[in-house]
Amino acid sequence: MLYSRYEVHTFKRVLKYLLGVIIILWAIVTFVMGYFYIVSTGTQISKKWGTFVEGIFNQVSYLPYLRSDEQSTFYQSFLFGSCVDLYETDEEGNYLPDLCEISSEDDKVYQVSLTGEAFWNDGMPVSIDDVFFTYDEIIRQNKWGIASLSAWANVSVALENGAIKVEFPISSPNNATFFTQYILPKHSIANASLEEYRNTFSLAPVYAGCASIVAQTKDINSLIFDLSKCEDTHLGYYQLKTYQNFEEFEFTFRNGGGSIVDVYQSPYTMPEYSKQNMLSSQLMGVFFNTNSDKVKVRLRRSLGGLINSQFFTGSYQQFIRKYQGEVLSYYLTDGENVGEFINRVSLSSDDINTQDLQDSWAKELPTEMSINGVDRKFTFFTQKFDGAKNLEIKFSNEFENIKITGPDGSIYTPPNYKKADKKLNYKLTMDSNIKVGSNQFTISGYIKGKTYTIASIDIYVFEALSPQQQEENQRKLNVLFYSEPSSIFVAQQLREIFRSAGILENFIFEEVFNPEELEGKLLMGTYDIYIGSVELGSRSDILALFNTEEALQNPSRYRNPILTSLIRQYTRAPLNNTLWEINNVLAQDMPLVLLGRTYTAVQMKDKIAKEVFSGVVDMYAYEWRHEIYANYALVHNTVLNPQETFDRSNFFHFIKDNLSGSGSTSWDLGRFSRIFNKQENTPDFLLELEKNEDTTAVRPFNELVQPANTPVSEEEEESSQEESAS
C-alpha cells in the first residue's frame, strides 16, 4: 500500500513538472509570437542615432586641398561647403547648388553668386570674398604650391559687382567640376602659410558645415564627426578608426573575435563582410612614350592593335570594366605585323637572371624589411657580392625568441635579441649561409611556448651581367608599372600577349614599389611604355587627357595641334564627323590604348550591403560613402498601429501565413535573440534608447589622422568608442 502511494505521489510530481514546463513554453511562444505580430502590424521608421565606423589604412585630411583623394574629400564635406554639391545632381547630371548659384551660356564663362545666408562656426557670415579668395588665391594663383591645383592655372577669376566671373581656356561641360572645390574662410587664413594652415588652423578649424569634430582623449587612433545637427543623415556619429595597415586590422580582428568596423576599403575580405566593387575615378591604359626613340609610330600602331584585339580575355573583369567610349575606339591593325617593327636582341638563356626574377614579381634584396603578422612570403634577388651583407628585420609582434633556419638547415638564434625591440640584424655571408642560386630561409618565433612561422624568404643570387648583356638590355623596350593589383594584372596580360606573338624577349618589365620613385620616372621620361591609370573623374571627358603636358595626367606626352583644334570643335559642337577625325588622328599616331575603369573594392558588413547596395551596379567609388551617409540607418524603431494590431482578421491571417510558411514575416528567433543580447536595436515599445552625454575631456587634435605604431585590441576599440560617442 505504501509503495502504491509512493507511485501516485511520484506521478503527481512528474505531472506538475511537465505542466509547469508546458506553461513556461506556452508563455515564451506567446510572447515571441506576440512580439512578431506587433512588429508586423507596426511601421518601422529610421531614427537618428548610432555611430558608424569606417576602418582606414592610410592618412587622410579633413582640411581641403591638403589631400584630394576620395576619402578625404568626403570627410571634408562634413565641415566645408562648396559652390555646388559634389554628391547631388539633377536628372540631367548637373550639379545642384550648395553655397552658390552658377550659370553659363557656353560652358566656358561662368557667373557665380551666393545663394543665401550661411555662417562659419565662429559666427562670421560666408561672403563672396571667401569664394573669390578661394578661387583666385588658393586655386588659380596656387599660393601654397599644391601640385593638384596646377591644372587650374589658366583659369581667369574676376570679382565684378558682387559676383564672380570665372573663365576657362576652352569650352567644356567638365569645367563645372571646378565649382565643387571647397570654400575656405578668408578672414581666418588670408595671410596663412601652408604650414600654418596645416598645423595651426587644423587645431581650431573654421568651417561652415553641419558637423563638428568630437574632442576626445581615449583613442588617439580615431577621429569622430558629430552629425547630430546634420538633417540629411540618420547617423549620429561618423568615426574613422585608423590602422597602420590591413595586417594590423586583421590581427586585431582575429584575436578579438570580430570588429566594430562597419566598412573598410581593401581587396581582402574578412568574415562578416561582403565585397562590393565600385568604379574608381582612375582610367587604366597602356601609354606609349611618344618622346622615346624606341617606340616609333608604326610600332605603336601595331602594339596598340595587338593589345586591343587580345587583351580582353580571362578574368580581366575582376580588375577593369572595359572601356567602351566613342573616343580612341578605332585601330588600323590587329597587330599581326608586329614582328616587322621589332628588331631587338633577346636576353641570354641563363638559368637565373634579373629578368626572370622580375617576371616572377621578385624584388631586389633590401638592407631592411618589415614583417607584419605571421605566415608571410618574400622573394628577393641580388647579384653575387663579396664578403657579407647585413639585413635588418623588423616584426609587428613581440616574440619571446626568434630562430632563423638557413638553406643548409643551420639554425641561427640572435644572441642579444629583446622582444621589446621587435627587430634583429641577420648577416648574409657569401659562400657561407648564402650561395649563388636559390636560397630559402625560414624565420620562426615563439610566444608563450607556441611556435609561429613568421616568414619564408627566398633569395636568388646570380652572377653579374656582362657588359654585352647590359648593352642588350638597353636596346629593349622598358615597360614601367606600379606595384598594385590592377597594374600587375595588366602586366601579366601583356606578357602573355607578347609571348604568344613571339616578341616577349624584346621587353623588360620594371615594377616600381614607391610612389615617389614612380612619379620621378614619369617626370624624367625614363620609360618606353607605361602601364598605369590616370585620374579622370566620372564626369570628365577622355579628351581632357590631351589638354595637358603633365606627365602624371598624360604619360604618353602626346601633343598634336591638329588634334587640339578638333577637340575644341567637338566640345563646341559634338558632331559625328568631327569625332571620326579625332579617332583617325589618334589611330594614326596611337599614343595609348585605353583599357577601362579600375575598381575599388569596398568591404562592408552584410547588413549594410543588403540594405543600401542590393541591386546597385556601376556606382563610382566617390559615391558609396555618401550613399551610406544619406540612406543608411543604424537604428530602426517600430511605431505601433493600434487599428491594425487589434484587428482580429489581421491576427488570424498572421497565424495562418506563418504556420504555413508563406508569410512575409518570418519567425526570426535569431533576431529576437540578438535584440535581447543588445546586438540589435530594440523597438520603441520595448525599450526607449537614451543618448549618453559625451564626458571626455577636450584635447588638441592633429589635422592628419596618423596610423598607429602599436596594435589596438578590440576591447580597447569598443571601450574607446563607447567613451567617445554612444
pLDDT tier at 543 (50, 70, 90 boundaries)? confident
Mean pLDDT of 129-144: 95
- Chain mean position to CA 550: 24
List beta partners, residue 404: 412, 443
pLDDT value of position 236: 92
pLDDT value of position 626: 92
Mean pLDDT, the chain, rounded, equals 80
- CATH 3.90.76.10 holds for 81-208: yes
Give the start-to-end residue ranges of the domains of the chain: 2-41+643-676, 44-76+215-287+621-640+686-726, 81-208, 290-344+476-555+557-590, 354-462
pLDDT tier at 658 (50, 70, 90 boundaries)? low
Please give the CATH architecture assigned to the domain spanning 290-344+476-555+557-590: Roll (3.10)
CA distance 127 to 117: 9
Under DSSP, is residue 626 helix (H, G, I), strand (E, B) or coil? helix
pTM: 0.62
CA distance 216 to 219: 7
Cell reading at 641: 498601429
Cell reading at 271: 568574415
Q: Determine phi and psi for 393, rounding to 5 degrees.
A: -115, 125
CA distance 274 to 603: 5
Q: How many CB atoms lie within 10 A of CB 193?
A: 12
Mean pLDDT of 591-603: 91
Contact 63, 198 (CB under 8 A): yes
Residue of 483 and 640 predicted with greater confidence: 483
Highest mean pLDDT range out of 177-186, 214-223, 267-276, 529-538? 177-186
Contact 246, 266 (CB under 8 A): yes
DSSP assignment letter at 692? P
CA distance 234 to 635: 8
Q: How many CB atoms lie within 10 A of CB 717?
A: 23
Pairing outcome for strands 450-462 and 437-447: antiparallel
Which residue, among 361, 363, 370, has the nearest Cα to 707 in the 3D structure? 370
Residue appearing with cell numbers 555611430: 51
Which residue, among 611, 642, 624, has the nearest Cα to 46 in the 3D structure? 611
Reported as half-sphere exposure (CB side, CA atoms, 13 A), residue 88 has a value of: 13
Asked if residue 351 has pLDDT above 50, the reply is no
- Provide the strand spans (E) within 365-502: 368-371, 376-383, 388-395, 401-405, 411-412, 423-429, 437-447, 450-462, 477-482
CA distance 190 to 134: 10
pLDDT value of position 318: 84
List beta partners, residue 395: 371
Write the pLDDT tens digit of every residue in 24-41: 877 777 777 666 666 666
Reported as half-sphere exposure (CB side, CA atoms, 13 A), residue 632 has a value of: 28
Write the pLDDT tens digit of every residue in 87-128: 888 877 788 999 999 999 888 999 999 988 899 999 999 999
Could you tell me which residues come within 8 angstroms of residue 96 by beta carbon, excluding any fewer than 6 positions away? 84, 85, 88, 89, 90
pLDDT value of position 6: 58
CA distance 546 to 561: 10
pLDDT value of position 592: 92
List beta partners, residue 43: 639
Cβ neighbourhood burial of 413 (10 Å; 0-12, 13-18, 19+) = exposed
Cell reading at 148: 593638384
pLDDT value of position 292: 87
Cβ neighbourhood burial of 38 (10 Å; 0-12, 13-18, 19+) = middle
Give the CATH number of domain 354-462; options: 2.60.40, 3.40.190, 1.25.40, 1.10.3470. 2.60.40
- Provide the strand spans (E) within 448-569: 450-462, 477-482, 507-512, 529-535
Which residue, among 54, 100, 48, 51, has the nearest Cα to 74 in the 3D structure? 54
CA distance 655 to 663: 9
- Identify the sign of the CA torsion 500, 501, 507, 509: negative
Under DSSP, is residue 99 helix (H, G, I), strand (E, B) or coil? coil
pLDDT value of position 725: 38
Asked if residue 721 has pLDDT above 50, the reply is no
pLDDT tier at 726 (50, 70, 90 boundaries)? very low
Residue of 667 and 567 predicted with greater confidence: 567
Pairing outcome for strands 109-114 and 95-97: unpaired
pLDDT tier at 529 (50, 70, 90 boundaries)? very high
- Where is average pLDDT lowest: 56-70, 373-387, 663-677? 663-677
**Helices and strands in the chain: count of H runs, count of E runs:** 20, 28
pLDDT value of position 720: 42
Asked if residue 593 has pLDDT above 60, the reply is yes
Cell reading at 259: 570588429
pLDDT value of position 487: 92
Residue appearing with cell numbers 535569431: 670
Residue of 21 and 298 predicted with greater confidence: 298
Cβ neighbourhood burial of 284 (10 Å; 0-12, 13-18, 19+) = buried
pLDDT value of position 1: 46
Could you tell me which residues come within 8 angstroms of residue 557 by beta carbon, excluding any fewer than 6 positions away? 289, 290, 291, 525, 549, 551
Residue of 278 and 706 predicted with greater confidence: 278
Write the pLDDT tens digit of every residue in 397-445: 889 999 999 988 889 999 888 888 899 999 999 989 998 877 889 999 9
Residue of 113 and 570 predicted with greater confidence: 113
CA distance 43 to 171: 51
pLDDT value of position 352: 43
Of all residues in the chain, the percent with pLDDT exceeding 70 is 78
- The DSSP annotation for 324-363 comes to --STT---S--STTGGGG---PPPP--SS-HHHHHHTT-E
Contact 348, 323 (CB under 8 A): no
Cell reading at 37: 505580430
Cβ neighbourhood burial of 718 (10 Å; 0-12, 13-18, 19+) = middle
Of all residues in the chain, the percent with pLDDT exceeding 90 is 32
pLDDT value of position 43: 61
